[in-house]
Amino acid sequence: MFKFKKEVSNLKRFDDILLVLLEEGFGYLISKIKLKGKLTPKQWSKRPCKKEVMLPEVRLRKTLERLGPTFVKFGQVLSVRPDLVPKNYIRELEKLQDEVPPFLFSEVERIIESELKKPLKEIFLKFEKKPIASASISQVHKAVLKNGKVVAVKVQRPNVEEIMQEDIQIMLHISSLLENHIKKVKKYNPVNIVKEFANWTKDELDFVLEARNAKIFYLNFKDDKNIVIPEVYDQYTTKKIITLEFIDGIELNNIKVLKKELKKRKVNSDFIIKQGFDAVLTQVFLHGFFHADPHPGNIIITKNNKVAFVDFGIVGRFDQDLKEKSTDLLYGLVFHDVDKITDTLIDMGMEKNGDILGFKEELRTIIEPLQSLNVEDVKLSRIIEEVLHISMEHKLAIPVQFVLFGKTLITLEGIGLKYNSKFKLIESTRPFVENLMLRRLNPVAMVNSFVKNSLKLKKFAERLPDQAEKIFKKIEEGTIKVDISDTDIKRLSIEIDRSSNRIAYSLLITAFVITGALTTGVDVGFKIFNLSIISFLSFSFAATFAFILFVSILKETR
């Protein structure tokens, strides 16, 4: 686990980073955050005399590339956060390539033998010395186990955790200075961004966690004939090594080769893309657990035309509440319903000193023109990008999990367009969304939702007197400040009335159901449907009040 420290332990690395920033034209920034004295006059002489004409986002990307793997990884993480970074920077940061020279095989062998406590030859029948992939955190080797199974072995780079720890310390120190000395930067909370990145990196460095994620995906798709998830070999997996079933196929980013191969197989690429897209929607809205980094290199088309997902270091999770809200939001995006989008965003808890009215008006200027277009002329990724961008501009806080999902959709549409310029994600999304909305009308789902909300109301009703007493006591003591506009008071009054009515209905329903259950076997001489008259009337009243409550909730939703 990374420890967040204010001081910088590796001063030489810190000086190297400042020098790169200076050479890339960020001297003004170094001066602004009071670090000018950290560099010598000779080093300042290396500052470019005449700045090269370059867009700031391009300059940032090139600087991150020069600063090394940790900073490249940081840029890649920022590229999936359009709620934090302007879209022009997002597009540039997406160009960052997480490809670094492989480390020596002798180191690979040392790490594997140290982790598995056995010589390499006792574990593997064959182990290819040349890696099939090499990135900033790890590299992957193809191997064959003693039982003949072909596997992919991902090995963590030597000392990568310590190196990233030092870099993150420096990033945290610089972000703190930026926050303290530059007001425009403070609103983006750079310290929190770095801390969030540290947590992401910590998860990616734990291959046991990645193995756990892979196993969840494997179980979720074990009955799906179109999707392949590699099997995990636990006995050859540790924090620094993960051994998975080798997936033989062609990566989606190898466009020319894959197009040629699919044509040879007489397989429509649109069909393949739709399979992958449906799999992601299934992950999100049915499983509540999805691959949050589905770039083309992490998706493989197998020899029998199935879609395989690999690399499970970054995942997203949707609980039932977020699934329902995201369904509403996706419905609003697909059917261009501005009110639905805005109301759902606010219901998600996204208001954070934000300009809701300004957000709604700006959103309307984006969405309303789309209503006159045909479905096939609309790019879903563009709508999502605009919604996330406008949310950022109006200071609306968006749940990270939904941002990851939104970025996933944007990535998938980008992949589809590379294979077919006429590919329209929204056409694939529409039937899926309609089906999700129909699922809500399923009687079982409605009963479950009703029971869940009734329990919430019961809990709220039980806690209300104590909570109200505490609040009024604080008001009397003057330890709480109340600043509510007339509109807010009216809205609060309406909400209290509405909640009180629902609580009353819920309590009556509960009382009638309990009464009906207790009097089922009471012998009063007259029975209906083998129930005593008291029991029958109790259940009837419960059903009536339940129907009235359901209709009122349905009206409010509409």
Q: With bands split at pLDDT 50, 70 and 90, how would you rate the model's confidence at 80?
A: confident
**Do residues 413 and 423 touch, judged by C-beta distance below 8 A?**
yes
449 pLDDT higher than 60: no
**Do residues 143 and 127 touch, judged by C-beta distance below 8 A?**
yes
43 pLDDT higher than 90: no
As given in the structure block, the two tokens for residue 265 are: 């197989």
The mean pLDDT value of the chain amounts to 80
d(CA 524, CA 536): 12
Q: With bands split at pLDDT 50, 70 and 90, how would you rate the model's confidence at 376?
A: low
Give me the residue spans of the domains in the chain: 250-440, 444-557
Q: What is the per-residue pLDDT for 372?
A: 59
- Residue spans of alpha helices (H) in 222-298: 255-265, 269-282
Counts for the chain of helices (H) and strands (E), in that order? 23, 13
Give the distance, in angstroms, between the CA of residue 341 and the centroid of all CA atoms in the same chain. Answer: 18
Beta bridge partners of 8: none
Q: What is the per-residue pLDDT for 509?
A: 74
136 pLDDT higher than 70: yes
SS3 1: coil
Sheet of strand 299-302: strand arrangement: 227-228, 307-309, 299-302, 249-251
**Least confident interval from 78-82, 162-166, 347-351:** 347-351
Q: What is the per-residue pLDDT for 370?
A: 67
What does the radius of gyration of the chain's CA atoms come to, in whole angstroms?
29
> Residue-wise over 383-408: b if at least 16 C-beta within 10 A, else e?
bbbbbbbbbbebebbbbbbbbbbbbb
Q: With bands split at pLDDT 50, 70 and 90, how would you rate the model's confidence at 212?
A: very high
524 pLDDT higher than 60: no
The residue that leads in pLDDT, 98 or 214, is 214
Tens of pLDDT along 388-424? 778 777 777 777 777 777 777 777 777 777 877 777 7
Q: What is the per-residue pLDDT for 350?
A: 61
- How confident is the model over 427-431, as a mean pLDDT? 75
142 pLDDT higher than 90: yes
Beta bridge partners of 138: 156
Tens of pLDDT along 85-131? 887 888 888 888 766 789 999 999 999 999 999 999 999 999 999 99
Tens of pLDDT along 229-262? 999 999 999 999 999 999 999 998 888 898 889 8
Tens of pLDDT along 163-175? 999 999 999 999 9
d(CA 26, CA 47): 9
d(CA 18, CA 510): 67
d(CA 149, CA 124): 10
Q: What is the per-residue pLDDT for 397?
A: 72
* Burial of 232 per CB tally in 10 Å (0-12, 13-18, 19+): buried
Q: What is the per-residue pLDDT for 377?
A: 59
| Percent of the residues in the chain that have a pLDDT greater than 90, as a whole number | 25
> Residue-wise over 357-379: b if at least 16 C-beta within 10 A, else e?
eebbebbeebbeebeeeeeeebb
Q: What is the per-residue pLDDT for 482?
A: 53
**Do residues 238 and 227 touch, judged by C-beta distance below 8 A?**
no
Indicate the DSSP class of residue 80: T
489 pLDDT higher than 60: no
- Helix (H) or strand (E) holding 151, with range, is strand 150-156
Q: What is the per-residue pLDDT for 1?
A: 45
Q: What is the per-residue pLDDT for 485?
A: 47
Q: With bands split at pLDDT 50, 70 and 90, how would you rate the model's confidence at 4?
A: very low
